[in-house]
């Protein structure tokens, strides 16, 4: 048997390619949309991808299942569980609880595990030449290492009212089935630490059923009501784009095919588009952005969080421009198409090309923690903490107002237009995003806190929990 775990750090997302070497056939589970990874592995291992499947209708990334099936002519197998409103809307081979299929000599059994979503399924794999006992359980967003899938996304992200308590109770009963699996079975889940699909995911990529039964807090709660309360408490804010992913993954993501790459804009093309009001995403380092950027541009840095924050901040129904270097644009494009942001009008690698035409840059003022500590008691002084609610509740600068960075555009009326406003996060990245939103909206009385609350605490300044 061939097995490879593919991990995409930006979305903390796992996918898998499993092959039968004797027959030269392979299956891919939960593929990302940039499918070249799987095609390359299959070619290297002399395997033909014959089956493509996924565990559920994803909310946090745009599935590559249709893309991969179209490219390989593989059979596309998807859940038909959960009721009519949770059915995929494009052709596929339906899977149900108890369904089995073979990939060469590998036996795959389907388990319906509602809770995270109504249609969610998992896959139990048996390598039949080696044993008649199962060896791996691919759990998607059902059970993670150290956590279980959140049941509130349908309600909080997709607006399906009244589903999160139902989902939590379904999760409780699905876990009872999970606990009946043999302890030795390996657990391979859909996400790792950093994913918004849970609140306490472990950084270790895999576990076993037995270890989760003794270490996973959610699996240790035996009372259903206590479980529901604990599971729904403290879940992170779901990014805005989750609802769009649910919609597109249900109806079928557009198939990109080969050669998807954005147009390299001339300075003149960039200027014309900018003056028309087109959104500009500046992916450069936050300090470089602060020193000088195109007015109105948003600073979403090219790091592991780019996909998530692009999903928070970029509209899906409008074209946009990327400012990024030639060496980084290919990878940035992949990060964007993984969440369906395909409407890239073009990119500009060097803003100096634009300034050579007469374009004038603006800057973002910054402040360090020592300056902040010195000025914090001034009149008309406001600190806005743009971290997640759980982070803010875990400790913040006294008097800081909490506005999650992803919602700042919708809460502009809460940002003072007079006095001094300090925008702060954990380390300065998210506050740079939020600050760029405020500048774009004409709110200029702001400073970005260098190093965020991390630098504040490191300098020995106090935090409060109120």
Q: How confident is the model over 184-201, as pLDDT tens digits?
A: 999 999 999 777 666 667
Q: How many domains does the chain have?
A: 3
| CB contact at 8 A, 42 and 13 | no
In a domain, 89, yes or no: yes
Whether residues 47 and 193 fall in one domain: yes
In a domain, 257, yes or no: no
Whether residues 29 and 174 fall in one domain: yes
- Does the structure show a pLDDT above 90 at 236? no
- Does the structure show a pLDDT above 70 at 281? yes
pLDDT score recorded for residue 203:
78
For the chain, the farthest-separated pair of C-alpha atoms sits apart, in whole angstroms, at 75
| CB contact at 8 A, 445 and 419 | yes
pLDDT score recorded for residue 200:
65
β strands within 68-223, DSSP E = 75-79, 93-95, 100-103, 106-112, 121-127, 136-140, 143-144, 147-148, 186-189, 206-208
pTM for this predicted structure = 0.93
pLDDT score recorded for residue 198:
66
Which CATH number do you get for residue 290?
A: 3.40.250.10
Whether residues 22 and 107 fall in one domain: yes
When pLDDT is cut at 50, 70 and 90, the band that residue 251 belongs to is: very high
Whether residues 233 and 282 fall in one domain: no
Range of the domain at 335: 267-355
Whether residues 159 and 56 fall in one domain: yes
The last residue of one of the domains, among 355, 377, 396, is 355
H/E element, 421: strand 420-424
In a domain, 261, yes or no: no
The arithmetic mean of pLDDT across residues 91-102, rounded, is 98
pLDDT single digits (tens) 206-230: 999 999 999 999 999 999 999 999 9
The arithmetic mean of pLDDT across residues 132-144, rounded, is 97
Whether residues 139 and 48 fall in one domain: yes
**Is 111 or 161 the better-scoring residue by pLDDT?**
111
Cβ neighbours for 141, distance < 8 A, ≥ 6 positions apart: 55, 56, 58, 116, 117, 120, 149, 189, 190, 191, 197, 198
Cα of first residue to Cα of last residue in the chain, in angstroms, is 55
Cβ neighbours for 216, distance < 8 A, ≥ 6 positions apart: 143, 145, 146, 147, 148
In a domain, 360, yes or no: no
Query: Residue 323 half-sphere exposure, CB side, CA atoms within 13 Å?
Result: 31
pLDDT single digits (tens) 11-54: 999 999 999 999 999 999 999 999 999 999 999 999 999 999 99
Whether residues 162 and 247 fall in one domain: yes
Tokens of 21: 């070497």
- Does the structure show a pLDDT above 70 at 382? yes
Whether residues 282 and 179 fall in one domain: no
Tokens of 292: 């000088």
Which CATH number do you get for residue 225?
A: 3.60.15.10
Whether residues 427 and 293 fall in one domain: no
When pLDDT is cut at 50, 70 and 90, the band that residue 272 belongs to is: very high
The last residue of one of the domains, among 324, 355, 386, is 355
The last residue of one of the domains, among 299, 327, 355, is 355
In a domain, 466, yes or no: no
Whether residues 203 and 84 fall in one domain: yes
In a domain, 465, yes or no: no
When pLDDT is cut at 50, 70 and 90, the band that residue 131 belongs to is: very high
The arithmetic mean of pLDDT across residues 414-429, rounded, is 97
Whether residues 171 and 31 fall in one domain: yes
* Helices 429-440 + 306-313 axis angle, to 10: 30
Distance CA 73, CA 418 (A): 61
The chain-wide mean pLDDT, for the chain, equals 95
In a domain, 49, yes or no: yes
Whether residues 45 and 139 fall in one domain: yes
Residue with tokens 């270097």: 325
The arithmetic mean of pLDDT across residues 129-139, rounded, is 97
- Does the structure show a pLDDT above 90 at 85? no
In a domain, 463, yes or no: no
């Amino acid at each position: 048997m061939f097995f490879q775990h593919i991990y995409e750090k930006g979305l903390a997302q796992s996918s898998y390619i499993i092959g039968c070497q004797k027959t030269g056939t392979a299956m891919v589970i939960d593929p990302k949309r940039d499918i070249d990874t799987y095609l390359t592995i299959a070619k290297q291992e002399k395997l033909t991808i014959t089956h493509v499947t996924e565990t559920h209708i994803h909310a946090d990334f745009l599935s590559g299942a249709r893309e991969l099936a179209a490219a390989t002519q593989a059979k596309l197998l998807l859940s038909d569980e959960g009721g009519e409103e949770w059915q995929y809307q494009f052709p596929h081979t339906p899977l149900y609880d108890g369904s089995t299929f073979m990939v060469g000599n590998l036996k795959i059994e389907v388990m319906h595990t509602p809770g995270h979503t109504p249609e969610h399924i998992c896959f139990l794999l048996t390598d039949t030449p080696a044993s008649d006992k199962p060896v791996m359980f691919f759990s998607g967003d059902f059970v993670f290492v150290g956590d279980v899938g959140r049941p509130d996304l349908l309600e909080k992200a997709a607006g399906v009212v009244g589903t999160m308590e139902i989902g939590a109770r379904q999760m409780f009963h699905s876990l009872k089935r999970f606990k009946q699996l043999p302890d030795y079975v390996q657990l391979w889940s859909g996400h790792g630490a950093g994913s918004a699909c849970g609140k306490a995911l472990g950084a270790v990529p895999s576990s076993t059923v037995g270890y989760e039964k003794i270490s996973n807090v959610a699996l240790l709660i035996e009372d259903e009501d206590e479980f529901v309360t604990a599971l729904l408490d403290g879940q992170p804010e779901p990014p805005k784009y989750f609802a769009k992913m649910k919609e597109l993954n249900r109806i079928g993501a557009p198939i990109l095919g080969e050669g998807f790459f954005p147009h390299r804009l001339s300075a003149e093309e960039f200027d014309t588009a900018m003056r028309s009001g087109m959104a500009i995403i500046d992916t450069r380092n936050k300090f470089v952005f602060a020193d000088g950027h195109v007015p109105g541009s948003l600073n979403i840095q090219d790091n592991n969080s780019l996909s998530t924050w692009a999903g928070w901040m970029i509209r899906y129904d409008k074209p946009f421009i990327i400012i990024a270097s030639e060496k980084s644009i290919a990878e940035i494009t992949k990060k964007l198409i993984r969440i369906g942001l395909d409407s890239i009008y073009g990119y500009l690698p060097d803003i100096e090309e634009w300034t050579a035409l007469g374009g004038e840059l603006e800057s973002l003022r910054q402040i360090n923690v020592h300056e902040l500590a010195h000025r914090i008691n001034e009149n008309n002084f406001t600190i806005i903490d743009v971290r997640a609610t759980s982070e803010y509740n875990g400790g913040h600068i006294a008097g800081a107002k909490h506005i999650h960075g992803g919602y700042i555009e919708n809460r502009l009326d809460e940002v003072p237009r007079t006095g001094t406003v300090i925008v702060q996060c954990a380390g300065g990245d998210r506050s740079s995003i939020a600050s760029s939103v405020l500048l774009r909206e004409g709110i200029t009385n702001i400073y970005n806190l260098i190093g965020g609350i991390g630098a504040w605490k490191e300098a020995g300044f106090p935090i409060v929990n109120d």
